[in-house]
Amino acid sequence: MNHTIKWTAVAFAVALGNGMIATQAVAQGEGFVEGASATLSNRTFHFNRDFRDNVGQSKREETATGFALNFQSGFTEGPIGFGADVLALAGIKLDSGRGRSGTGLLPIDNDGSVPNEYSEIRGAVKANIGGHTDLRYGYHLPENPVIAYEDSRLLPNHYFGYSIANTSIDGLMVEAGRMESRGDMADAGQYDDPYGFSGGDIDHDKVTYLGGSYEFAENLSASLYTSKADDLWKRHFAGVTHELDLGNDMSLTTDLAHYHTSDDSPVGEEFGNKATSLAVTLGAGFHDLTLAYQRMSGDAGYDYADNAIYLANSVQVIDFNAKDERSWQARYDYDFEGMGIPGLHFMTRYVRGSNIDTDFVGTNRDTRWERNTDIRYTVQSGPLHGVDLTWRNATVRQDVGIDGGDIDENRLIASYTWTLL
């Protein structure tokens, strides 16, 4: 705990120092109003998950529509600029029922019912020093390998805390922060315990992080992060991405990701894990072919209740993150612009996991697989220009004792964003 606070303090001092140096040469700030932007996004979502084992709940099926108003001010003029952001979220039930709830689109009341609507407004204050250093307090939508917001359902979840980021060195981004709580995407009215663990005086809804990324060249970048989730774990991440131009409109992209999680729980929970994935993508014009391998080792599987998992085989339903699990993926993407249909994209993949520690996980089968198909179309012209339509299908076959057993799933999503400012 003390070390993580020191990490944040060191990063703050370095970034602030760089920012103050930059103010000697840079007078930044485009104006609070002049630099402002605002968007209103709508997403209508139908979610159907059929549990094929007929154990417990047979299916989850709901339809809802959600709105997200995102206002971001500019910064006041001067060497230190100040600003403020506002995020307003609202979800409306279109179809649900007590026997079909739990999709993550809508919250569930204590009596098991689903409210007709839910909403909230969150804000943040921010400052920019010298054009290169940003400080923020309030709601966050973090996107890094050790803490990341989730936006795979109706509304995004979000965090509350403070952070600092600096880009004063060309190609280098350094950031640090502490998130005090998390607003769940299916319960936007409050900040909740993000982990779902309980026990004594554990304060487990706080995450401190430090890290950054560096572009060594146009085709080579790396990232390094460390974090601590209070009373749960310490987590470190290293990642490298390289793109090789093969000529003739072909490329080879390699992504390597590695997590090392050490147990820090005082109540007997086990989180010690090493997780590594390697993905290689061959791009050829409008085609992409990806092969990936992922491996788990350590005392447990990879737990990521802080919504951070930057691993190749984390897919639509399964993350293939059970204790000792090994998994392979084959994926194919096609952009139909190659056939004269811009805006239409197709993806299919198959992932197979094996070597699961059945005694630790409590399953009877040490293998499982998932198959996904995505078809997405963005309307290119006319009165519906910009409307995005997506169909996502998943088939999962695994033991009933892990992650819900056999699953057939379909997601239908229609979304659109209006630019207000």
Please name which of 231, 346, 207 lies closest in space to residue 287, comparing C-alpha atoms: 346
CA dihedral angle for residue 264, residue 265, residue 268, residue 272, rounded to 10 degrees: -40
pLDDT at 178 over 90: yes
pLDDT number for residue 403? 75
* Selected residue with higher pLDDT from 186 and 241: 241
pLDDT number for residue 204? 53
Query: Per residue in 371-404, pLDDT tens?
Result: 999 999 999 999 999 999 999 999 999 987 787 7
Please name which of 201, 196, 174 lies closest in space to residue 186, comparing C-alpha atoms: 196
Query: Per residue in 399-421, pLDDT tens?
Result: 877 877 999 999 999 999 999 99
Stretch among 80-94, 128-142, 172-186, 213-227 having the lowest mean pLDDT: 172-186
**Is residue 204 exposed (0-12), middle (13-18) or buried (19+ Cβ within 10 Å)?**
buried
Angstrom CA distances, 341 to 34, 334, 389, 413, stand at 38, 11, 15, 20
pLDDT > 90: percent of the chain: 73
Which residues have C-beta within 8 Å of that of residue 377, sequence separation ≥ 6? 343, 344, 345, 388, 389, 390
pLDDT number for residue 205? 67
Look over the chain and give the mean of its residue pLDDT values, rounded to a whole number.
88
Please name which of 51, 92, 85, 91 lies closest in space to residue 71, comparing C-alpha atoms: 85
pLDDT number for residue 193? 39
Q: Is the dihedral of CA 87, 178, 295, 400 positive or negative?
A: negative
Instruction: Give the pLDDT band (50/70/90) at residue 253.
Output: very high
Structure tokens at 353: 């996991």
Stretch among 69-73, 155-159, 322-326 having the lowest mean pLDDT: 155-159
pLDDT number for residue 308? 80
What architecture does CATH give domain 1-192?
Beta Barrel (2.40)
pLDDT number for residue 196? 39
Query: Per residue in 260-274, pLDDT tens?
Result: 999 877 666 789 999
End-to-end CA distance of the chain: 42
Query: Which string of b and e fits 144-177 if b means at least 16 CB within 10 Å?
Result: bbbbbbbbebbbbbbbbbbbbbbbbeeeebbbbb
pLDDT at 201 over 70: no
φ and ψ of 336, to 5 deg:
-70, 0
d(CA 91, CA 360): 39
φ and ψ of 130, to 5 deg:
65, 10
pLDDT number for residue 222? 98
Can you give the residue ranges of every domain in the chain?
Answer: 1-192
Query: Per residue in 6-49, pLDDT tens?
Result: 544 444 444 444 444 444 434 456 789 999 999 999 999 999 99
Structure tokens at 210: 């430090």
pLDDT number for residue 289? 98
Give the mean model confidence (pLDDT) for residues 54-63: 86
Name the pTM for this structure.
0.88
